[in-house]
Chains A and B, each alone.
Chain A
Amino acid sequence: MAAQIFSAILVIIIGVGGCVGYFWGANKLLDVIFPSRGVKGGAAIDNLRRQGVIRPWLFIGPALIILTVYLIYPVVQTLILSFHDRGGENFVGVANYSWAFGDREFRNSIFNNLLWLLVVPAACTFLGLVIAVLTDKIWWGTIAKSLIFLPLAISFVGASVIWKFVYEYRGEGQTQIGILNSIVQFFGGSPQVWISLPLWNNFFLMVILIWIQTGFAMVILSSALRGIPEETLEAAVIDGANPFQIFWKIMIPQIWGTIAVVWTTITILVLKVFDIVLTMTNGQWNSQVLANLMFDWMFRGGGDFGRGATIAIIIMLAVLPIMIWNIRQANKETGGH
């Protein structure tokens, strides 16, 4: 263990030192090979120009290499693997895709993912907006926001334990130690094993993600609400608008762009949701989702890389429209820059 801590510290030093060394050394080397100071006229200008051509690549080089190895190459390779068999050796055409759409578990995952996509972003955005508006009006709003924001720092696994405890089930008539069943029993209902109720269990899992992500939506939307010009609100009040009209007709239209950003961000997160399902049900009781199914096939029976890759591609296809939209937005913003 001591060796492990020591090696971690060593790596930090080597890593940071290596980075500093590389950037400093490479720049120094460039200055030595193409000196711009101490040489005369034309040569200095030529060398400055050469420096200008090379230096950006020195700056961006390491990032480019890592991005290529860890993101660009794997994305391409996953696409290729999805047309190959479990070991990745034999080309099988679209066999994996046709398998997927005939597979009961896969279709169940698609259905569940759609449910998640419909419910979670909507719930987070709506709750986030409501809480942002409400907390803006009271003196302890900042504290309230902090507390609602807090789950964002908790890991999905940690959150799963927290909520598993909320959903804990004891037989009927016994003392319930899970708060949900305790409340149900208090009002005369019978306790349930919440995470094994088909279809409904999806919603109990979604609650966890909503609990985590509402704080995110709240913070972003709260800052957008603050950015609304005071005059528009005052004008509405003078014109006799009631609070609901102000909210729906004045505030919402002005933060529409932010709502879209929050919505898409959470949508992407939902498509990748894995930890919650793995730890709560591992896909049992018809609660499977694509990301967990993919992980499952990656290791199931020694790993079926073809099917795993295929499921990854399906997730990617769902993300693709958002990706394209993001790139177009960014291009618009940085257009001439």
Chain B
Amino acid sequence: MANPTGKSYLGRFGVHIAVLFFVALWTLPTLGILISSLRDKDQIIVSGWWTSLTSSTQTEAGRLPPPNTAAERDGKFVLEGNLFEVPGSRAITNFGIRAQAPTEFEAGSVADLGDGETMQVNADGGFIMTMPAASDATRGRRVYYAATVPPRFTTENYANVLFSEGIGRSFINSLTVTIPATVIPIMIAAFAAYALAWMRFPGRALLIATIIGLLVVPLQMTLIPLLELYNDVGELFGVPSKTYLGIWLAHTGFGLPFAIYLLRSYMAGLPRELMESARIDGASDFEIFVKIVLPLSFPVLASFAIFQFLWVWNDLLVAMVFLKTDATQLVLTARLNALLGSRGGDWEILTASAFVTIIVPLIVFFSLQRYFVRGLLAGSVKGG
């Protein structure tokens, strides 16, 4: 198809540009939180993450100590201190006292605030404010300043969310939910899939149809009765109704139709001669399954395992219904949802937390993409 005309080269160039555009659109949002999660928490809120590599002049705001703490000196009342925790950590070029004019005065100059009040802010963040009379105001004056900030990257945010915001604990909880909820269905589904693919019994066609029907049943249909059932069982036996066992079984139930469907269609595609020759040799169905079908089905078992792992790890709905909302059972997705409510604007916490929750799926996904795609192609009737 290649014809070396100018138009074709132009077209080819256009394809590269178009794909590059799509790739950028699809990766930039994630890159944004990854970079932000590594930035200093003060820098996140004053400049876009895309400028994080440049040392930038940023307009920030600080607050002076309350005027009622001013010390008397030479008949005037003076507030003195430094805007920065570490004096001189940033260089102030200008400052101001109104949000509309945050860079009204040059650093080091003395600003007249009216009523005999003056303020001076130095480049290193040190300030002196003088007032003619004592004040009992308890709210410090706001001061705005433009500062040159060198880029600073840190892992503090991660340490913070892992150990103080409960993300670490939730990580363990997520693993606790996910691993058994991935392992248990595989076994149960594999036997059922073999029976549906290679054994003859009445009602088999109906069962297959039922399972395909169940593939698309919205989880919403099951939640209320199961919640009631769990409450009743809990009451009957005097045990808590929200337990890990409960959610393992729930995820097993929800994952089974897809597992059986996926495994059955794969197993049904195995060569018939293989089973028949084994049967002639006197092998029972159990032996055929364990010794022949199971080893041959490894790729599809892996596909399902990845699907189920991702689905359970990423699930929020089932976890919110079947688990408690305290630290002992809050999984990552639910914790992240809670943080969105309680720490809405604290992007250093949200970005780091989000990245912790998505890192495991990303690793699983990248290392096992081959199996994932295979499963996707084989079982694309399921809605996730």
Contact = CB atoms under 8 A, between A and B. Distances in A.
Contact of B201 (A53, A147, A267, A291): A53
Contacts of A156: 314, 316
A153 B364 contact: yes
Interface stretch (B85-93, B113-121, B130-138, B354-362): B354-362
B361 A165 contact: no
B317 to A, nearest CB: 6
B153 interface: no
Contacts of B45: 177
B49 A177 contact: yes
A93 interface: no
B26 A71 contact: no
A27 B252 CA distance: 23
Interface string B28-71: 11101100100000001111111000000011000000000000
Given A59-B194, A165-B350, A278-B337, A176 B357 contact: no
B188 A19 contact: yes
B91 to A, nearest CB: 18
For the residues of A in contact with B, the DSSP-based class is: helix
A162 interface: yes
B217 A71 contact: yes
A23 B191 contact: yes
Given A158-B354, A175-B48, A327-B209, A298 B340 contact: no
A177 B358 contact: no
Nearest to A269: B383
B141 interface: no
Contacts, number: 355
B260 to A, nearest CB: 6
Contact of B377 (A7, A12, A175, A220): A220
Contacts of A77: 224-225, 228
Contacts of A19: 184, 187-188
Contacts of A164: 340, 350
Interface size class of A (residues with CB under 8 A): 35 or more
A57 B199 CA distance: 10
A150 B372 CA distance: 11
Nearest to A276: B316
Interface stretch (B13-21, B74-82, B154-162, B296-304): B13-21
Given A16-B183, A237-B1, A272-B383, 18 more contacts: A23-B191, A51-B284, A63-B260, A66-B188, A74-B221, A150-B26, A157-B316, A158-B357, A158-B358, A175-B48, A219-B377, A261-B380, A268-B383, A278-B337, A295-B223, A309-B224, A330-B209, A331-B209
23 contacts: A4-B173, A5-B175, A12-B183, A37-B282, A56-B204, A59-B289, A60-B207, A63-B256, A66-B252, A67-B253, A135-B19, A138-B15, A150-B366, A161-B33, A163-B29, A164-B340, A168-B347, A177-B47, A216-B376, A265-B382, A309-B224, A316-B217, A326-B216
Interface of A: 1, 4-5, 7-8, 11-12, 15-16, 19-20, 23-24, 27, 31, 37, 51-53, 55-57, 59-60, 62-64, 66-67, 69-75, 77-78, 81, 88, 127, 131, 134-135, 137-138, 140-141, 144, 146-158, 160-166, 168, 175-179, 182, 211, 214-216, 219-220, 223, 237, 243, 261-262, 264-269, 271-272, 274-275, 278-279, 291, 294-295, 298, 305, 308-309, 311-313, 315-316, 319, 322-323, 326-327, 330-331, 334, 337
